[in-house]
A = this chain, B = another copy of it.
Amino acid sequence: MAKIKNLPENTLERLIIYFKVLDLLEKNKIEAISSEELAKRCGINPAQLRKDLSFVGNLGTKGVGYSVKSLKYNLKKFLGITQEWNLILGGITPLAEYLLQNKALSKAGFYFMAAFDRKEANIGKIINGVSVYSLDQLDYVFKAVKVDIGVITEEETPEIYLEAFLKHNLKAILNLSSVPFFVEDDKIQIENFSFEMSLTKLSFFLKHLA
């Protein structure tokens, strides 16, 4: 990952974790917290947490701690999730259908604007309000709406969607196919994820636990 503002990728991941844990704390009506307590809930070192937060700004009060609400808001702003982002989908698969009907994503500000598929039978379908287009309608869709993030769910030929999306100047890709993608250009950000890879990490752990 390209480093932005000198922020290490692990720090970014931790900031997202803090945000999520703060969200939970707020739901539980906890109004203030110290770095020690928050760090404990995130499974990390308190100094690490304070150092991480220092990338975002001076968010706490010395001698006191952090306001849950205000820390959460500052992280939200820093992470870019006070605003909404428009997504397109590459590949109508069971995973794609799951994502399209997932309320949590739109609640979090991630909206699917269109989906693409290569199977004739799927073109023209409307899934949970989202239309399915053929890939040669990409131009049309990119002209009609602002697109921020491309999500690739196809397994057979995921690279075709990647190439098409990059050709249209998309800068952020979530690749959910089983083979990870990499590009040289550090103006392009690709997140690779698959359940198989996550489970493989656990498998390694189990294998070497003995």
Residues on B with beta carbons closer than 8 Å to the beta carbon of A108? 196, 199-200
| Most chain B beta-carbon neighbours within 10 Å: one of A104, A183, A199 | A199
A80 near B208: Cβ-Cβ < 8 Å:
yes
A175-207 CB contacts (< 8 Å) to partner B: 178-180, 182-184, 187, 189, 191-193, 195-207
A189 near B205: Cβ-Cβ < 8 Å:
yes
- The CA of A98 and the CA of B21, in the complex, are separated in Å by 27
A79 near B174: Cβ-Cβ < 8 Å:
no
Number of interface residues of A (CB under 8 A): 67
Which single member of B19, B101, B196 contacts A104 (CB below 8 Å)? B196
Residue A172 at the chain B interface, CB threshold 8 Å: yes
How many copies of the polypeptide does the oligomer hold?
A: 2
Residue A71 at the chain B interface, CB threshold 8 Å: no
Residue A41 at the chain B interface, CB threshold 8 Å: yes
B43 near A80: Cβ-Cβ < 8 Å:
no
A81 near B2: Cβ-Cβ < 8 Å:
no
Residues on B with beta carbons closer than 8 Å to the beta carbon of A178? 20, 104
Residue A166 at the chain B interface, CB threshold 8 Å: no
Residues on B with beta carbons closer than 8 Å to the beta carbon of A101? 94
By Cβ-Cβ distance, the 10 closest A-B pairs, closest first, are A43-B182, A80-B207, A80-B203, A172-B202, A189-B205, A4-B208, A98-B98, A191-B198, A79-B204, A108-B196
11 contacts between A and B (CB under 8 A): A4-B205, A42-B180, A42-B182, A80-B204, A105-B196, A105-B199, A171-B206, A172-B206, A173-B202, A189-B206, A193-B193
Given pairs A43-B183, A98-B98, 8 additional interface contacts (CB within 8 A): A13-B197, A20-B179, A20-B180, A80-B200, A105-B195, A173-B202, A174-B198, A189-B202
